[in-house]
Structure 1
Amino acid sequence: MTGFQPAEASTPDTYAPVEIGLHGVTKRFSDQVAVDGIDLEVHEGEFFSVLGPSGCGKTTVLRMIAGFVDPDEGRIELDGNDMVGVPPYRRDVNTVFQSYALFPHMSVWDNVAYGLRRKSVRGAELTKRVGEHLELVRLSEFAKRRPAQLSGGQQQRVAIARALAAGPQLLLLDEPLGALDAKLRKELQIELMRIQREVGTTFLYVTHDQEEALVLSHRIAVMNAGKVEQVGYPEDVYERPATRFVAGFIGTSNILDATVSGVDGAWVELDAPGVERLRARLNQTARHGQRVAATVRPEKVHLYDDATEPPAGWCVLRGVVKDVVYTGVSTQFVVDTPAGGELVAFVQNARRIDDAGAPGQPVRMAWDPEFTVLLEKSADD
């Protein structure tokens, strides 16, 4: 969409100097624009994730930073130096792939030593650095094994140790946990966080997994259709999504189409079918009668029957319970509403499930208006 601009993090930046900068970077493949004029800055020592669905351009961004492909327009700077046209072997960057890419005929020790030997590190220094990085990934006792004798998680830790051993300025990670089962992924997420904290190397992590990005990252860039829709800290992109796409892609979100009925200082009043009251913080220009979209997360929503009044000043929307899904920690209520079709509320199971409501029951969905967020248009709107 012409004129689309990504929303920046609302929290002031407190990071170190910029390690990697992308300025107006565009990449086309035939008539398809894979990356469309994006700007990004990743700071020294940061764990930065690029998050988005398949085909959004995130892997192309990683490949351009690595030097595997050059942009058609724009600059890619590493530590202030333009890298466009510089071959991969001359960039102080290493990449960890989803497929591990280990040498099957080499031992774990020799795999980790490979990059160091290419840099002419020999003797005691080689032994010391390989030993340190095997200890870092907690695989010292597996030094003599071949990759085929290791689990998937262990192989990925070897790949990380090999990439870090050469001491790159920047480590690129291309969905490195994608081939692992759910339990192992969570274990490796904790390991990655620990490793990044210990070594202090800048990590740029590409993933389609929303939870993974929220757990691992200092900051996140959310991509859609070749553009960056929002850059922010995890709590920014989750609690204050900038666009309809971000709200829908990260977690579960209720999106309401409404009309501006008034602006009262820092608040905007909204009107929609079935709404008793709906208001949001004014975070963009709004005028009376304007059509807008607003969102609220399901865990912020409380359910009330007609005999119970929600707190004064809260947003209130009438509906009828359609489905009740027990998930253990919480119960998911799907509510049919005149305003937005089906909306969802997550209610913590602090009481008996049979007291929580049933399909067909009229309810009022209510929440603190602080949790209502006005949405901007997405890149593909």
Structure 2
Amino acid sequence: MTEPGFRPAQGRTPDTYAPVEAGLSGVTKRFADQTVVDDLTLRVHEGEFFSVLGPSGCGKTTLLRMIAGFEHPDAGRIELDGVDMVGVPPYRRDVNTVFQSYALFPHMTVWDNVAYGLKRKGVRGADLRKTVGEHLDLVRLGTFAKRRPAQLSGGQQQRVAIARALAAGPRLLLLDEPLGALDAVLRKELQIELMRIQREVGTTFLYVTHDQEEALVLSHRIAVMNAGRLEQVGYPEDVYERPATRFVAGFIGTSNILDAHVSGVDGRWVELTAPGMTRLRVPLGTPFAHGDRVAATVRPEKVHLHGVDDEVPTGWCEFTGTVRDVVYTGSSTQYVVDVPGGDALVAFVQNTRRVDDAGSPGQPVRVAWDPEFTVLLGGTDD
């Protein structure tokens, strides 16, 4: 797997290329006989909002703890600004951590919580007041300085934790599922706040989450982890639109995954054979031999539903099936279509017309999409 250089989306940061802030090479961590991080190599660039995304138990929090110095790798190197940190205690690393539990001091005011790390560094007087004030303003809590954590909402407490972590001026801020304890509406609000804060301060953020939407919204780049290994590293649009593996396709969003065999090449297309298909093809790219077993995927929002007598655009991928379920979700309606061979395809149709005109359970339909949106995942498991 190759990792792209850091080229953030337009408008997120002025940098087009940036030096490596945190570099991990061959990092492995075991607990008893279980390998929780397995030979992991990764680069996080200066000024980047980088997310590590994966399910519970995949090793992402252990990875974060090793970077912070709370855990030590059994093998490999962890470099911060080019210096190997293995064996260096946490307090000697230019890193701060924001936890899901906030970890605020309940007996201290908001001001004192933010000032705590600065005081330990010997900052006093006007410099202390200036820095604390700036960071409370950064998280829009300047008027809450005299309150205690119990007098704040969950979102406000999390912003205090972020201000406290940033006030010490770390080169790298580690965030361990910091929005996990908040309700859905507040999570979305804090996502926007985190993007704004990171953009204003320019500090490198390394963010751990199991929330796919959160990672897609926040990140310059995403690393997807599974069972201690990296499945894919890339920009959000690449990870979503062009998943590298079956796991990534299934974990991020909803995806249709079709098992097939390579049946030939037609111009710039690889032709595939799958049960019940009229035509299935993917853009020519990765070499495959005739007869190879492969998996192809297409996102449900790329899929169109047609009546059985409707004309489908020439060259599109096409299946004939029967609507099994129709689920109204507000802006779109989800259709589950049974196709020959025992599989089912999911289509998301925008609600731009009357919902009752679009199809109903038991109705025969043709399912079709532009083959440009088909992605080949490689060999399937037996």
TM-score range, shorter chain: over 0.9
Distance verdict in 2 for CA 1:283–1:59, change over 3 Å: farther
* More displaced stretch, 276-285 vs 251-260: 276-285
SS in structure 2 at match of 1:167: coil
Q: Quick check: 1:38 aligned with 2:40?
A: yes
In structure 2, relative to structure 1, the CA distance for the partners of 1:7 and 1:275 (3 Å cut) is farther
In the alignment, which of 334, 356, 359 is matched to residue 357 of structure 1? Answer: 359
Indicate how the Cα distance of structure 1 residues 299 and 340 shifts in structure 2: closer, same or farther if over 3 A, else same: farther
Task: Tell me which amino acid in the other structure corresponds to 2:304.
Answer: H
Instruction: Letter of the 1:222 partner, please give it.
Output: V
Alignment match, 1:139: 141
| Partner residue, 1:186 | 188
Alignment of 1:295-374 (within 5 A): 295-339=297-341, 341-374=343-376
Structure 2 letter corresponding to 1:238: Y
Once the two structures are TM-superposed, the CA of residue 274 in structure 1 deviates from its matched residue by: 1.3
Please say if residues 244 and 375 of structure 1, whose CA atoms lie closer than 8 Å, have aligned partners that are also in contact.
Answer: yes
> Counterpart of 2:240 in 1: which secondary structure?
helix
Any idea what the Cα deviations from partners look like across 1:310-343, whole Å, max 9, x if unmatched?
Answer: 1111111111100111111111100001256111
| RMSD, aligned CA | 1.5
Partner of 1:245 in structure 2? 247
Name 1:223's counterpart in structure 2. Answer: 225
Match of 1:207 in 2: 209
State whether residues 7 and 17 of structure 2, in contact with CA within 8 Å, keep that contact through their aligned partners in structure 1: no
Please state how far the C-alpha of 1:307 moved relative to its aligned partner. 1.5
Whether 1:60 and 2:62 are equivalent positions in the alignment is yes
Pick the aligned partner of 1:29 from 31, 56, 67. Answer: 31
1:267 to 259, 266, 269: 269
Q: Deviations over 1:25-46 (max 9, x none)?
A: 0000010000000110000000
In 2, are the aligned partners of 1:10 and 1:236 still within 8 Å (CA)?
A: no
Cα distance change of structure 1 residues 282 and 253 upon mapping to structure 2, 3 Å threshold: same
Cα distance in 1 for partners of 2:122, 2:66 equals 27
Q: Measure the CA separation in 2 of the matches of 1:303 and 1:11.
A: 38
CA distance, structure 2, for counterparts of residue 286 and residue 107 of structure 1 = 63
Deviations 1:14-66 (A, max 9, x none): 43110000001000001000000011000000000000000101001000000
The aligned amino acid for 1:168 is P
Counterpart code for 1:300: K
Q: Distance in 2 between matches of 1:220 and 1:39?
A: 14
Query: 2:98 — aligned with what?
Result: 96
Aligned to 2:50: 48
Hey, what's the Cα distance between the residues in 1 that align with 2:22 and 2:284?
Answer: 33
- The secondary structure found in structure 1 opposite 2:359 is coil
Deviations 1:106-130 (CA, angstroms, capped at 9, x unpaired): 0000000001011101100000000
SS state at 2:346 partner? strand
Give the CA deviation at 1:377: 5.7
CA contact under 8 A between 2:28 and 2:76: conserved in structure 1? yes
> Against the structure 1 CA distance between its residues 256 and 22, is the aligned structure 2 distance closer, same or farther, given a 3 Å change threshold?
same
Q: 2-side partners of 1:236 and 1:98: how far apart?
A: 28
Structure 2 CA distance for aligned equivalents of residues 261 and 248 of structure 1: 25
Percent identity (aligned): 81
What SS does structure 2 have at the residue aligned with 1:278?
Answer: strand
Give the equivalent residue in structure 1 for 2:279.
Answer: 277
Any conservation in 1 of the 2:6–2:45 contact (CA below 8 Å)?
A: no
Q: For 2:198 and 2:68, how far apart are their aligned partners in 1?
A: 19
Report the Cα offset of residue 12 of structure 1.
6.3
Partner residue, 2:11: none
In the alignment, structure 2 segments of 5+ residues that lack a partner are 9-15
- Quote the Cα distance in structure 2 between the aligned partners of 1:11 and 1:115: 31
1:59 match: secondary structure:
helix
The amino acid that maps onto 1:367 is W
Q: Which of 290, 293, 296 is 2:295 aligned to?
A: 293
Deviation at 1:282, TM superposition (A): 3.0
Letter in structure 1 aligned against 2:59 = G
The 2-side partners of 1:334 and 1:103 are apart by 50
Residue 6 of structure 2 contacts residue 17 of structure 2 at CA under 8 Å; is this kept in 1? no
Q: Secondary structure at the match of 2:27?
A: strand
SS at match of 2:352: coil
Inter-partner Cα distance in structure 2 for 1:39 and 1:339: 40
Of structures 1 and 2, the one scoring higher in RCO (CA 8 A, sep 6+) is 1
What is the distance in 1 between the residues matched to 2:103 and 2:224?
27
SS in 2 for 1:68: coil
The total of aligned residue pairs comes to 375
1:187 deviates by 0.4
With normalisation by structure 2, the TM-score equals 0.96
Tell me if structure 2 keeps the 8 A contact 1:193–1:216.
yes
Does the aligned pair in 2 maintain the 1:256–1:339 contact within 8 Å? no
For 2:84 and 2:357, the matched residues in 1 are separated by 63
